Amino acid sequence: MRPNILLLFADQWRGDCLSHRGHPVVETPFIDRWASGAARFERAYSANPTCIPARASLMTGRTAASHGRVGYVEGVPWEYGTTLAGEFTAAGYRTHAIGKMHVYPERNRLGFETVELHDGYLQFARRNASDLDEIDDYIPWLRDATGRPDADYAEHGVDCNSIVARPWDGPEWQHPTNWVSRRTVDFLRTRDRERPFFLFTSFHRPHPPYDPPRWAFEQYLHREMPEPPVGEWAAEMWSGCGNPHDPASAYLEPSEHALRRARAGYYGHMSHIDQQINRILQALGEEQAEDTYVLFASDHGELMGDHHLFRKTLPYEGSSRIPFIVSGPGIASGDHRRLVELRDVMPTLLTAAGLPVPDSVEGHDVLAGPERAWLHGEHQEALVCPDRPGSVQWLTDGSWKYICRSADGREQLFDLLADPGELYDVALLLPDAADLWRGRLTDVLRERPEGFVQGDRLVPGREVAAILSGNREKASGGAV
């Protein structure tokens, strides 16, 4: 029988926030223990660091320019003919997803046989669904567990993108993170042993709201924490996108107290998930670990005050760099410098299962496939600055990072080896290096419908949309 596949996925987990990676505050002892016997990829990125485009790359194995979602937009149908889950289902696997999908319509199974859904705050569904019980499986469970027909997971009032943090207001066993792990353990223990499984366990946290259990919140609240890196360029680049009175603003200079609470909430979620992943791995180890591949990753990171920025979208390391760890039969433990991205998950897992990789897939098997010299990332700028029509384009090889803001042509260049905090923009100091990376970006964007390139030059001021017009049909079936 073919091997089992377990894809553990978090939402908004920074690539440096693991204690085995040397983070000075975050404690993830159980992930550390598992990762000590796994392949650990130090240079892993989300090329389009918000939920929707990142998850489209995860589920299709394609670049944003190919699957069409180069930004964040709700309510656009997902109609892809070839998906990660669909390939496993077609091969006879028992395919199941638990937790966050962030697709549309919300109950779109995207190739999975079955889905138990908890999408966090389901913003689009809350605006348009007459009965949320029909969409989110966690809500009816919570109401049954509490005996309250009106129970909801948003009662504490902390919203889904702000830096406001507080402990979870109910028993820990009712937390959405526990629900996802509980349903995962139940699947592992009751599944059909005559079929291999592909299981997608998708935690909504550590995405806001920052509401971990009290023990997890308080263990970080009074810890000594290093100051976030802030480049001298930060205010000039992004302060115009901020609202000092909005705790969900992309650019903020919060008080030390507010920042400390936000970090305690964010890191607390990670320690909570760490323990719940241990619960899952223990259940897996009871009988299925030896013939199971396990991959842990996230859709994007969280800036958490780096350069006075919060949330995601932008290409700086806190937002774009993600964890990427793989274990399984025949995989040697060790750190890898190979440059990997979310579109690599699909070919990696299909290859591990001995299944063919569809021709539409543009990623690579990270264990044995070809290595890329550098990768391209992008995102519409409107999610950070609503009044800006452009996008932020970027390239990295893991050692250097080049950024170009298409609205005004503003460039940045960082030497990641000498300056991992991206404090010093050297674009003007190293014009030859900037020219090299600008030429590479020009080649990448040359055929794009937005008209980013004229002749051999990047042209600033081009308007962009979250869905590429040339890809509307395959991204949305014609509905935008």
Q: Classify residue 454 as left (phi > 0), alpha (psi -120 to 50) or beta.
A: beta
Burial grade of 190 (CB within 10 A; 0-12, 13-18, 19 or more): exposed
Q: Which of 17, 67, 96, 102 is catalytic?
A: 102
| Cα R_g (the chain), whole angstroms | 21
Please answer whether residues 279 and 233 qualify as being in contact, where contact means their C-beta atoms are separated by less than 8 angstroms. Answer: no
DSSP letters, 124-190, are: HHHHH-S-GGGT-SHHHHHHHHHT-TT--TTTT---SSSS-B---SS-GGGSHHHHHHHHHHHHHHH
Q: Which of 17, 51, 385, 404 is catalytic?
A: 51
Q: Which two tokens stand for residue 70?
A: 């180069």
The reply to whether 300 belongs to the active site is no
The reply to whether 51 belongs to the active site is yes
Q: Quick check: helix, strand or coil at residue 279?
A: helix
Whole-angstrom CA distances from 142 to 137, 151, 186 are 9, 7, 17
Whole-angstrom CA distances from 91 to 112, 364, 366 are 12, 20, 22
Task: Tally the C-alpha atoms within 13 A of residue 202's C-alpha that lie toward its C-beta.
Answer: 23
- What are the start-end ranges of the E strands in 342-439? 375-380, 391-396, 400-405, 410-415
Whole-angstrom CA distances from 70 to 34, 380, 381 are 34, 7, 10
Q: Quick check: helix, strand or coil at residue 260?
A: helix
Q: Which two tokens stand for residue 283?
A: 């259940």
Task: Tally the C-alpha atoms within 13 A of residue 175's C-alpha that lie toward its C-beta.
Answer: 24
Q: Quick check: helix, strand or coil at residue 234?
A: helix
> Using CA atoms, how far apart are residues 352 and 199, in angstroms rounded to an integer?
14
Q: Which two tokens stand for residue 382?
A: 């409107």
Q: Quick check: helix, strand or coil at residue 306?
A: helix
Residue 341 DSSP symbol: E
> Using CA atoms, how far apart are residues 357 and 366, in angstroms rounded to an integer?
13
Residue 321 DSSP symbol: B
Catalytic residues: 51, 102
